[in-house]
Amino acid sequence: MASEITYAEVKFPNASPAAAAEVPPKTKKQEHHPQKYPPWLPWLISLLLLLVCIALIIAFLVVPLSPSDEEPTALQQKFTEWQCDSAVPQGKGRGWTCCPKGWKRFQKSCYYLSDDRMRWAESEQNCTGMGSHLVVINTEAEQAFLTKELLDALGRNYYIGLRARQVGQWQWVDQTPFNATAAFWRKGEPSNVVAEPCVAIHTSSEIDNWNDSRCESHYRICEAAAVTV
């Protein structure tokens, strides 16, 4: 006799109602939380900004009052003692115009009146060796200044930086174009002869005091740009 098979429906209380296959749960998106900074960081940033502002103030106000970082001129390399005058009103900042001790200053130039005599070529070499050149006269004011200074000088004739490469063709040592209308020749000068290619100032109260001459031994006037600090 065959046994009777009985079917019964059994329900489990925690079972999923339909799950033929278990589906893996979706991965949760990672939540982004704002990063927390230490409370002292804003103070540090403020301090750095303050330091930058101070550095900029120093750069614009203090640095211009300091001596220039440019390479020293030939004149500065030759001399250690200087005479300086303020080139700007007091309290207006930097601006001292300096010449070597014993030199004369007029406007932006320094002048050396020698106490010994040399030929013209040697005179130019001597000036060059001091970081200068034989004087080049550009204005009537400059000529008047030198004329006045020479009244108390030792010699009668002082070489300037003017010479004729050919008769009547005058040339300044610094290649400044010669302006015949701004020359200060004595009456009857220049002679314009081959034997007198060099030019000297003859000590005189008259502003027109240049004369061409032989390139023999005379005193000299050297000129260099004044130094500003």
Q: Which residue has the tokens 């079972």?
A: 15
The CATH number of residue 154's host domain is 3.10.100.10
Task: Tell me what pLDDT residue 73 has.
Answer: 83
Cis bond leading into 67, ω under 30°?
no
Q: Examine residue 18 and state whether it is found in any structural domain, yes or no.
A: no
Domain span holding position 202? 88-228
CB of 140 within 8 A of CB of 207? yes
Distance CA 190, CA 185 (A): 7
Task: Tell me what pLDDT residue 66 has.
Answer: 40
Q: Examine residue 112 and state whether it is found in any structural domain, yes or no.
A: yes
Task: Give how many domains the chain has, as a whole number.
Answer: 1
Q: Examine residue 212 and state whether it is found in any structural domain, yes or no.
A: yes
Average pLDDT for runs of 10 along the chain of length 229:
48 49 53 65 83 76 45 86 76 77 96 97 97 97 97 93 95 95 95 96 96 96 94
Task: Tell me what pLDDT residue 88 has.
Answer: 56
Q: What is the pLDDT of residues 45-85, one digit of tens each?
A: 888 888 887 887 776 554 343 444 467 788 989 999 999 98
Task: Tell me what pLDDT residue 1 has.
Answer: 47
Q: Examine residue 144 and state whether it is found in any structural domain, yes or no.
A: yes
Q: Examine residue 82 and state whether it is found in any structural domain, yes or no.
A: no
Q: Examine residue 125 and state whether it is found in any structural domain, yes or no.
A: yes
Q: Examine residue 21 and state whether it is found in any structural domain, yes or no.
A: no
Q: Examine residue 106 and state whether it is found in any structural domain, yes or no.
A: yes
- What is the pTM assigned to this prediction? 0.68
Using CA atoms, how far residue 198 sits from 83, 118, 158, in Å, is 32, 13, 11
Task: Tell me what pLDDT residue 57 has.
Answer: 76
